[in-house]
Amino acid sequence: MADRLRVDVAVLGSGPGGSVTAALCAEAGFQTLLLEEGPDLPLDACRHFSGEEIVRKYRNRGLSLAFGKPSISYMEGCCVGGGSEVNRGLYHRTPAYVLDRWAREYQVDALTPDALAPHFDACEARARVAGLPGRAPPLSQRLGDGGAALGWDSMQAPRLFDYASGRKQSMSETFIPQFRRAGGDLMAGTRALRIARTNRRWRVSAVRDRRPLEIEADGLFVACGAVQTPALLRRSGIRHNVGNSLRFHPMLKAVALFSDAVNRPGDPDPVHQIKAFEPRFGIGCSISSPALLALALGGNPAMRAHIAQASDRMGLYYVQNGSGHARVRCLPGARDPFVSVAHERNELEALYDGLRHLLRALFAAGAEAVQPCLPGLPMLRSAAEMDALPASLPRKSASLSSVHVFASCPMGGNQRITATDSWGRVHGVDGLRIADASLMCGPTIANPQGSVMAIAHRNALHAIERRFA
């Protein structure tokens, strides 16, 4: 016999979209239940970017893969707060040209920069967004210097971070406490299996501690992330443009070896990004711990050999764009959805061209040697040696990774290509809304968490005004 719960509003998933939505619903006076599949762990339960964090806070313990040529390994959080707990909190408002494209192609109503500004303002008032005080760490500054030497614009990305206390402004530090103070109930370790509409209410069939749980709600928001949201909807028989258009920001990486220390223990996270080539590709800096350097250099033993003695002189950098168009499908009897990805040649070539730009920037920044992180490619000692690189991306050996997944259920008035209307209401289904990165219509190249939060804020207020109809 299943346990039963009855609430006004249920929100499935506690990542940035779900947490913002749940907090607003609870503050509006609705009895709100926030369900999360992963565990409820404090922000500092384990070291950031450690193996322990991967095992405890990442979905599939970091082993998620979109199959294709090349495949993309992608990371998702699976804990209270979702991706906001495990990312760096780099923050951007959605670029105007991106919103303009979504409005034109997907016919999204009222999604201009001016219309979204109050929602960004509201989210930024709750989760502090700040620039790095003082000078950036050397690993970061080198990228900015290299870009400047080549005449390329760069900037220091703001972060969802409270630099006074040294704490990231993840959901478990911001919107989830707000949600709880407003009387909301959070249920971690609970996996939604199916949803169904009966008697003008939504019924969520879930499992918690291996016990079945049935939840009835007047309003239902699905915010399980861009892979799990379409998987849940498809398992529940809702398939119109659901899971057909998943996108990533796939990355290629390079490691630079400098003559002096750039990567010192205790340095703040790097923040420089070269924006001059967006949307074709964007360039930035990564966390450069010995473990992450070793991981990136898995196919490059010559540079990897320096880690033991010289990791303080090494920096890990990336280039990313929007290559890859993926589908999410449920396999009979399998718990996890299957994700397949196809690439367009021009998008992959743009990414590879971005890698060449990154290599040039690192040499311009004074690197002694630079290693493109693709198996079999040589360690380079000068920009001139880039002539030895293959003319195009070696697809067979290329390993792409992404920390952003989105756009699997895009929103908008164009029903031919969208899964929901402009406000996240699933087409043809009463009272069901999506509230996560699935709603985005395509890549932003910039970090998407700010966009997800603002759009969730906008759509939640719209839903509350209409009492979830």
Instruction: Give me the residue label for tokens 């979702």.
Output: 82
Judged by beta carbon, residue 31 or residue 73, the one nearer other proteins is: 73
Judged by beta carbon, residue 122 or residue 310, the one nearer other proteins is: 310
Could you count the other beta carbons within 10 Å of the beta carbon of residue 14?
33
Instruction: Give me the residue label for tokens 């709750």.
Output: 126
* C-alpha–C-alpha distance, residues 222 and 35, integer Å: 10
Judged by beta carbon, residue 226 or residue 429, the one nearer other proteins is: 226
* C-alpha–C-alpha distance, residues 459 and 181, integer Å: 22
Judged by beta carbon, residue 252 or residue 460, the one nearer other proteins is: 252
Judged by beta carbon, residue 295 or residue 386, the one nearer other proteins is: 295
Residue ranges in contact with other proteins by CB under 8 A? 43-44, 46-52, 54-55, 58-65, 132-134, 137, 163, 165-168, 264-269, 287, 289-292, 294-295, 297-299, 304, 307-308, 331, 334-336, 338, 375, 396-397, 399
Judged by beta carbon, residue 210 or residue 335, the one nearer other proteins is: 335
Q: Are strands 405-406 and 247-248 parallel, antiparallel or unpaired?
A: antiparallel
Minimum distance of other proteins from residue 397's CB (angstroms): 7
Minimum distance of other proteins from residue 54's CB (angstroms): 7
* C-alpha–C-alpha distance, residues 171 and 169, integer Å: 7
- Please name the residues in contact with 84: beta carbons below 8 A apart, sequence gap of 6 or more: 15, 16, 19, 77, 160, 168, 170, 171, 172, 449
Triad 16, 17, 20: Cα angle to 5°: 80
Minimum distance of other proteins from residue 374's CB (angstroms): 12
Residue pair 84/404 in contact (Cβ under 8 Å)? The answer is no
Minimum distance of other proteins from residue 50's CB (angstroms): 4
Residues 216-251, buried b or exposed e (16+ Cβ, 10 A)?
bbbbbbbbbbbbbbbbbbbebebeebbbbbbbbbbb
* C-alpha–C-alpha distance, residues 409 and 431, integer Å: 16
Minimum distance of other proteins from residue 469's CB (angstroms): 37
- Please name the residues in contact with 436: beta carbons below 8 A apart, sequence gap of 6 or more: 13, 15, 16, 17, 18, 222, 223, 224, 225, 226, 229, 452, 456
Give the 3-state secondary structure of residue 28: coil
Q: Which phi and psi (to 5°) does residue 168 adopt?
A: -65, 145
Minimum distance of other proteins from residue 172's CB (angstroms): 12
**If residue 12 lies in a helix (H) or strand (E), which one and from where to where?**
strand 3-12
Minimum distance of other proteins from residue 185's CB (angstroms): 27
Q: Could you give the residue ranges of the DSSP H alpha helices within 290-344?
A: 290-296, 301-304, 307-310
Judged by beta carbon, residue 70 or residue 443, the one nearer other proteins is: 70
End-to-end CA, the chain: 31
Triad 84, 269, 259: Cα angle to 5°: 150
DSSP state of 468: T
Judged by beta carbon, residue 28 or residue 261, the one nearer other proteins is: 261
Minimum distance of other proteins from residue 401's CB (angstroms): 10
Minimum distance of other proteins from residue 218's CB (angstroms): 34
Minimum distance of other proteins from residue 13's CB (angstroms): 18
Minimum distance of other proteins from residue 133's CB (angstroms): 5
Judged by beta carbon, residue 104 or residue 395, the one nearer other proteins is: 395
Judged by beta carbon, residue 86 or residue 445, the one nearer other proteins is: 86
Q: Which phi and psi (to 5°) does residue 366 adopt?
A: 100, 15
Residue pair 423/456 in contact (Cβ under 8 Å)? The answer is no
Minimum distance of other proteins from residue 70's CB (angstroms): 10
Residue pair 19/225 in contact (Cβ under 8 Å)? The answer is no
Judged by beta carbon, residue 25 or residue 43, the one nearer other proteins is: 43
Judged by beta carbon, residue 150 or residue 287, the one nearer other proteins is: 287
